[in-house]
Structure 1
Amino acid sequence: MAGGIPLQHECNLEDPEEMFLWMLTALPGMEEQAPMLVPPAWARKWSKRLYDAGARFHPEEQTVKYIPPPQKSSALYAGSGRWVKMGESPTPEETAPSISGLSIAEKREVVKQLQEEGYIPAAVTGPEQDVAEVSSHGD
């Protein structure tokens, strides 16, 4: 699950513990506070309780879906995902992959690909420089 947030497409909708798990994300009134109010293990039990009490998921009646926070958002904004009407698409900011974990060489490759596709003029990046990369991540 993305960042621990249960997403509908990642849940087994045949499993009572997961059928409603994704629906317990960013509950009304808490959307901006936290994506999950309780540990996922508790939410799984709540999902099963809903199932045991007779609730069932009917995808043909679904009118909203959850869009998780952007990949590049910090933990400070982890609750900023949002529920939207079915058919609404995520913004490019929400779907763009985070490049913060890429090495300098990988970032250069991304720039090269964007140049090749015409999104960045070649003159913007300037001449290739010989630089050393320092990482605090041990790699």
Structure 2
Amino acid sequence: MSIPLQDNLNPADPEEHALWALVNINEDLGAPLLLPIENMRAWSKHLFDCGFRHHKDLQEKWYIPPADDTPLYGAVGGKWSDTPPEERDEAAEILANLPTGVKADLKARLLAEDAGEV
């Protein structure tokens, strides 16, 4: 299964209502799904049954999934942002997740391309 994302889930379904918010809670682990998805769906339903509801106007964190082509040594789990998707600088976020060596290689390639060497 792919990573459960807020835009792809049914907020009226108790098993999906909070599922997206349970993704990659501990970013340091680098794994978006800390438990089997069935467990996370059960947690979502439990929270829903306890009265927890998402209020879009009160949301202060947004999940940024890893790029589809992110290598295993990259930001595998994605990350949480304090900025809504429409206000984020995606290029800066991608660069922030790249290892230093990959950034240096990318910079050299871009400079070579600008100089017409590619």
Scaled by the length of structure 2, the TM-score of the pair is: 0.69
Which structure is higher in RCO with an 8 Å CA cutoff and minimum separation 6?
Answer: 2
Q: Could you tell me which residue of structure 1 aligns to residue 90 of structure 2?
A: 91
Q: Could you tell me which residue of structure 1 aligns to residue 99 of structure 2?
A: none
Correspondence for 2:33 among 31, 36, 52: 36
Could you report, residue by residue, the CA deviation over 1:53-109 in whole angstroms, capped at 9, with x for unpaired residues?
Answer: 111111111011011112221234422x111113341522767xxxxxxxxxxxxxx
1:50 aligns with 2:43: no
Q: Give 2:38's aligned amino acid.
A: A
Q: Could you tell me which residue of structure 2 aligns to residue 18 of structure 1?
A: 16
Could you report, residue by residue, the CA deviation over 1:96-123 in whole angstroms, capped at 9, with x for unpaired residues?
Answer: xxxxxxxxxxxxxxxxxxxxxxxx56x5
How far apart, CA to CA, are the structure 1 residues paired with 2:8 and 2:93? Answer: 18
Alpha-carbon contact 1:71-1:94 (below 8 Å) kept: no
Q: Which runs of 5+ in 1 are unaligned?
A: 96-119, 126-139
How far apart, CA to CA, are the structure 1 residues paired with 2:40 and 2:53? Answer: 16
Correspondence for 2:7 among 6, 9, 15: 9
How far apart, CA to CA, are the structure 1 residues paired with 2:47 and 2:88? Answer: 29
Q: Give 2:50's aligned amino acid.
A: A
Alpha-carbon contact 1:20-1:57 (below 8 Å) kept: yes
How far apart, CA to CA, are the structure 1 residues paired with 2:58 and 2:17? Answer: 15
Alpha-carbon contact 1:68-1:94 (below 8 Å) kept: no
How far apart, CA to CA, are the structure 1 residues paired with 2:60 and 2:66? Answer: 20
How far apart, CA to CA, are the structure 2 residues paired with 1:9 and 1:49? Answer: 21
Q: Give 2:90's aligned amino acid.
A: T
**How many pairs were matched up?**
97
Scaled by the length of structure 1, the TM-score of the pair is: 0.59
Q: Which runs of 5+ in 2 are unaligned?
A: 95-112
Over alpha carbons, which structure has the higher Rg? Answer: 1
**Does the residue aligned with 2:28 lie in a helix, a strand or coil?**
coil
Structure 2 matches for 1:54-133, cutoff 5 A?
A: 54-77=51-74, 78-79=76-77, 81-87=78-84, 88-92=87-91, 124-125=117-118
